[in-house]
Chains A and B, each alone.
Chain A
Amino acid sequence: MNVILLIITLLGAPLFAVIAASAMFGFYSDDIDLGVIAIEIYRLAETPVLLAIPLFTFAGYILGASQAPHRLVRLTNALLGWLPGGLAMVAIVACAFFTAFTGASGVTIVALGALLYPALKEAGYGEHFNLGLITSSGSLGLLFAPSLPLILYGVVVQQMGMEQTISIGDLFLAGILPGLLMMLLLSTYSMLQRRQPRLATSKPTNKEIVNILRESAWELPLPFVVLGGIYSGLFAISEAAAVTALYVLIVEVLIKREIPMSDLPRIIRESMILVGGVLIILGVSLALTNYIIDSGLPMRLFDAIRAHIDSKWTFLILLNVFLLALGMILDIFSALVIIIPIILPIAINYGIHPVHLGIVFLANMQIGYFTPPVGMNLFIASYRFERPVMELYRATIPFFFILLGAVLIITYWPGLSLVLLGQS
């Protein structure tokens, strides 16, 4: 049966249907009433933090459809653009920031790529560098609050009801330094790029900076409200999401009027298609997760692995290889809900902190966004910049190795993720 389902999956059937089929088959062979599937799906209505997912996603889509990406690029450009390698840093910072808010749904490349790509070209960077930088930065920022995968990891772990539970706030803290490390490595690489000689960008005058700040005055408080609110404990995550969604809606639609009212239903539908696609997988996976845990599969796997590997570090190497391969075929959301319930109990037995595992997992998956053959961002970039996918494969290779380096550091230095939690 499992082989048949695997074939159906590879033929491109919707993953939620395959997962549901596999859960129902499990229930059926254990003589459990299949009505259970409805009870499991109904658990979507019993998990308060899930409220944050539609709200943040919607806010991200609204921002993406407005002029906010333009302002973000102009602002970071005024602040960083005059540094050596400045424009590349602008791209890295702007992408990371934007992706954190839009949840790495490919919106970053579409919304920011079109602005950054010509700008980088004009600044004299090589063609391949530009394509590679933008494609690989499209998933940068995944580790920063309030990114959707980060929240989803927290939800999945909490649903498993393990003894060692974690809060999403912990994950938000843990992602900061690893995320900054990735940005630092990419910036360093960008600074070392040889460029065509060109006119030096002068440092912007104070007046210019004031103008740009004034122009972005409406969006500037947003990161402080959201991140400050969450990190300080003022807001619950779903509250921060509600505030963000309402604020963005009022600013971009009613005050700045950059999005016509008539466009709202389309934006809502598109964002809710993503939300629905992710949550329905989560819903049916809740059924499968229980089945997997009850079946004792993780423990049997643990025993099997334990027989060959007894060091935590060897296990982590194996995990990295596995996750990289996984990221090549599975998107981040499905990978989260399917794989985490299996590997988390194993990882805990090897003494790996669940928060650290989450960061390692997402960091690996972030690379998966642009690894052939199915990295989503490769195709989005190929479509957006009208380049063959093969060219993007090549262009992203140096960035792959840089971020792989970051992933290795993140994996073997748990302190980097855990120090801000005060429990490294």
Chain B
Amino acid sequence: MSSTKSDPTLLPRILNVIHRFEDSLLAILLIAMILLASAQIVLRNVFEISIVWADPLLRIMVLWLALIGALAASRENKHISIDVLTRVMNEKTRRATHIFTSLFTAVVTGLIAYHAGRFVVMEYETQNLVLGIPAWVFEAIIPAAFALMAIRYLIHFVQYAKGLIMQEPSS
């Protein structure tokens, strides 16, 4: 973290802000989820009432946590993958494959972001409501997270391509 402070370029600083934002969002979502789910149990069993919006909201929070968690995994290149081959490759070949797989992942996540974006725009136009709030608000995390993942893998691609980073990029 401290090394990015002294870095004069803009990109690492922006990334740093984004990382903090992602981390805070994860923490807030998870803690809120724990409290809300626990409150719901107490209300249901002790007072025999329940918050109507709690269960659907909790389910949406799972989606958000999953996608932001996946985004954090993209940052550290920690997605589940098969590494039988990369493990035995020499440094140079491995970097070349990383360049290729990063680009592939950027393209795929970019495509998902684009199509999910179209879907969200459609939802915006139909004005569906979930919990009294337009549904697209909750769904917007899908294109947003995938777009950020695409950017993340483009950065990996550029970094590997430049050969700046020999090992796994870290935060």
Contact = CB atoms under 8 A, between A and B. Distances in A.
Interface string A251-266: 0000000000000110
Interface in A276-324: 276-281, 283
A185 interface: no
B53 to A, nearest CB: 14
A42 B136 CA distance: 11
B66 A280 contact: yes
Given A12-B97, A48-B55, A277-B70, A20 B112 contact: yes
A272 B68 contact: yes
A374 B82 contact: yes
A246 B66 CA distance: 19
Contacts of B112: 20, 24, 37-38, 41
B120 A38 contact: yes
Interface hub of B23, B33, B38, B66 (most chain A Cβ within 10 A): B66
Interface in B59-117: 59-60, 62-63, 65-74, 76, 78-87, 97-98, 100-101, 104-105, 108-109, 111-112, 115-116
A14 B81 contact: yes
Interface hub of B30, B58, B105, B118 (most chain A Cβ within 10 A): B30
B128 to A, nearest CB: 12
B85 A12 contact: yes
A276 B105 contact: no
Contacts of B65: 54, 272, 275-276, 279
A8 B78 contact: no
Contacts of A373: 84, 87
Nearest to A330: B82
B22 to A, nearest CB: 8
Contact of B80 (A21, A45, A53, A281): A281
Nearest to A239: B41
Contacts of B154: none
A46 B66 CA distance: 13
Nearest to B105: A17
Interface string B115-140: 11011101000000000000000110
B151 to A, nearest CB: 14
B71 A276 contact: yes
Interface string A146-189: 00000000000000000000000000000000000000000000
B67 A276 contact: yes
Nearest to B130: A45
Given A38-B116, A243-B41, A333 B80 contact: yes
Interface hub of A58, A275, A331 (most chain B Cβ within 10 A): A275
Contact of B138 (A45, A239, A281, A333): A45
Contacts of B38: 242-243, 246
B85 A11 contact: yes
Contact size range, B = 35 or more
Nearest to B123: A38
Nearest to A35: B119
Contacts of B62: 44-45, 50-51, 53-54, 279
Interface in A114-142: none
A10 B97 CA distance: 10
A242 B34 contact: yes
Contacts of A339: none
A46 B139 CA distance: 12
Interface in A32-82: 33-35, 37-39, 41-42, 44-48, 50-51, 53-55, 58
Interface string B17-34: 000000110110010011
B116 A54 contact: no
Nearest to B44: A239
Contacts of A13: 81, 101, 104-105
B119 A278 contact: no
A242 B34 CA distance: 6
A51 B58 contact: yes
The 4 closest A-B pairs by CB, nearest first: A276-B69, A242-B37, A14-B79, A279-B66
Interface of A: 8-17, 20-21, 24, 33-35, 37-39, 41-42, 44-48, 50-51, 53-55, 58, 235, 238-239, 241-243, 245-246, 249, 264-265, 268-269, 272-281, 283, 329-331, 333-334, 373-374
Given A37-B116, A51-B62, A276-B72, 13 more contacts: A11-B85, A13-B81, A13-B104, A14-B80, A14-B81, A15-B82, A38-B115, A39-B119, A242-B33, A245-B34, A268-B27, A269-B27, A275-B69
7 contacts: A13-B101, A35-B119, A48-B55, A51-B58, A53-B62, A242-B41, A373-B87
